Amino acid sequence: MVDFQTPQGGTIGIADAPIAALRDSLRGSLLLPQDAGYDAARSLWNAMIDRRPAAIVRAAGAADVMKAVNFARENKLLLAVKGAGHNIAGKAACDGGLMLDLSAMKSVRVDPVARMARVEPGALLSDFDRETQAFGLSTPTGINSTTGMAGLTLGGGFGWQSRKRGLTIDNLQSVDMVLASGELVQASATQNPDLFWAVRGGGGNFGVVTSFEYRLHPLGPQVLAGLIVYPFAQARQVFDGYRKFTAAASDDMTAWMVMRKAPPLPFLPADVHGKEVIVVAFCWIGEPAQGEAMAQTLRSFGTPVGEHVGPMPFAGWQTAFDPLLQPGARNYWKSHDFKMLNADVERILCDAIVKLPTEECEAFIGHLGGQVNRTAVADTAYPHRDAEFVLNVHTRWRDAGDDRRCIDWARGLFDALTPHATGGVYVNFMPDDEAQRVATGAYGSNYARLAALKARYDPTNLFSQNQNILPKA
């Protein structure tokens, strides 16, 4: 007998025979807490989240996904779905429920003639980049190679190519997905278009995607990219230069700004290590010669203390921040969207950065606009088509005794910035304690339609372990 949690918080016992029958039916595997591999399968990127499912189905394909979904629905079990497990909120695991682990489904198949890619939900950005860059192709994704393609896409997805080519979802052509009914369907602009609209930003609320199809674009394999590091004493003038630069930037240019203590990077002098710095990270995806002039402008914001800039493989640039984002640390995020970075935002950030609670904490500003904002709000579930910048307050630490101090710092900075923000939030940047922001902050004017579609495709809210959209009554 295995005791499972129900979505309502109760307990239900499942006899050994049905568990064995489920295990025997799978091409993948089923793990119980005593089985080898259980702890690895339940582990997530954010070490603050430590949940113990009653059982884990490690799916090998769509048939396994269908069986797991049917088993959870028929037995009224709490169900969590894991792609790469990178999400800050840690919704991919649940205590006492059934966890559906898709991380073994990593296939990436590229059609270089049609410029399309078919990708399974366990694939990481690094898997996608290796395959697509072999043909000099890509599509907009994120900025950390260990991020999962599934979670990134279902929330919207943005990174170095987005100002030129839109969000990840703006380049999504179709999905195969398993509904709460256990049925496998396809969704695209012509098949189940309402469902296709919902999955482009609506997260995992509507089913389990077993395959994503993306449109690809020529890129690289070399791009002009890099980091320009300024001392924090020059933050005000760097902010001023950044504001002017981004207001006039070509869609081929994306420039992010990171405020943190300098890690011991080899291109930085030793006396800078551990000191507050302001970093401009950029990627130019246009003609390299034109990009050199843009990079020179980025160097003119102040007097840099170091830089690492030049032509480099795009797949390599995608790994640039990986050393700062390895799994195993405790992480808490707070995030805002902005139409502009005014003097008050600058002042608040500068005041906060000199009080960073740990060496690994930071605030970063993602540069949007461009093609991202040329899609109408109602065209996809992702509604933030007016945001020019996304700011993420990222606290990161190792000792659980620092939880309160780090979280309070993040919340304090978030609260101070709130009057200057749009009120919107990127759903993939929301921590586990922000359920109250889902309707108005994450989805805004699109929420009512999403709630109606949730009632149509998942009326019992089987897919509840996410930034949850409640079925409309």
Q: In CATH terms, is domain 222-435 a member of 3.65.10.10?
A: no
* Res. 325: pLDDT tops 80: yes
Distances (CA, A) of 393 to 230, 311, 380: 20, 30, 26
Q: Which residue from 94, 77, 67 is spatially nearest to 12, judged by alpha carbons? A: 77
pLDDT of residue 288: 82
**H, E, C per residue of 116-159:** EEEECCCCEHHHHHHHHHCCCEECCCCCCCCCEHHHHHHHCCCC
* Res. 289: pLDDT tops 90: no
Looking only at the bridges linking them, the beta strands covering 98-101 and 55-58 are parallel
**What's the pLDDT band for 146 if we cut at 50, 70, 90?**
very high
Domains 108-219 and 222-435 equal at CATH topology level: no
278 backbone dihedrals φ, ψ, rounded to 5°: -125, 120
pLDDT of residue 347: 97
- pTM for the full model? 0.97
Q: In CATH terms, is domain 108-219 a member of 3.30.465.10?
A: yes
* Res. 225: pLDDT tops 80: yes
Question: Using one digit for the tens of pLDDT, what is the confidence trace for 357-387?
Answer: 999 999 999 999 999 999 999 999 999 999 9
Return d(Cα 62, Cα 161) in angstroms, integer.
30
Q: CA 145: distance to chain centroid?
A: 11
Q: Give the mean pLDDT of the chain.
A: 97
Question: Using one digit for the tens of pLDDT, what is the confidence trace for 85-132?
Answer: 999 999 999 999 999 999 999 999 999 999 999 999 999 999 999 999
What dihedral do alpha carbons 444, 414, 361, 466 form, nearest 10°? -30
* Res. 29: pLDDT tops 90: yes
**What percent of the chain clears pLDDT 90, i.e. is strictly above it?**
99
Q: What is the mean pLDDT of residues 219-241?
A: 96
* Res. 473: pLDDT tops 90: no
Question: Using one digit for the tens of pLDDT, what is the confidence trace for 246-263?
Answer: 999 999 999 999 999 999
Q: Which residue from 216, 165, 199, 158 is spatially nearest to 387, judged by alpha carbons? A: 158
Region 2-101: CATH code:
3.30.43.10
Domain boundary assignment for the chain: 2-101, 108-219, 222-435
Return d(Cα 49, Cα 93) in angstroms, integer.
8
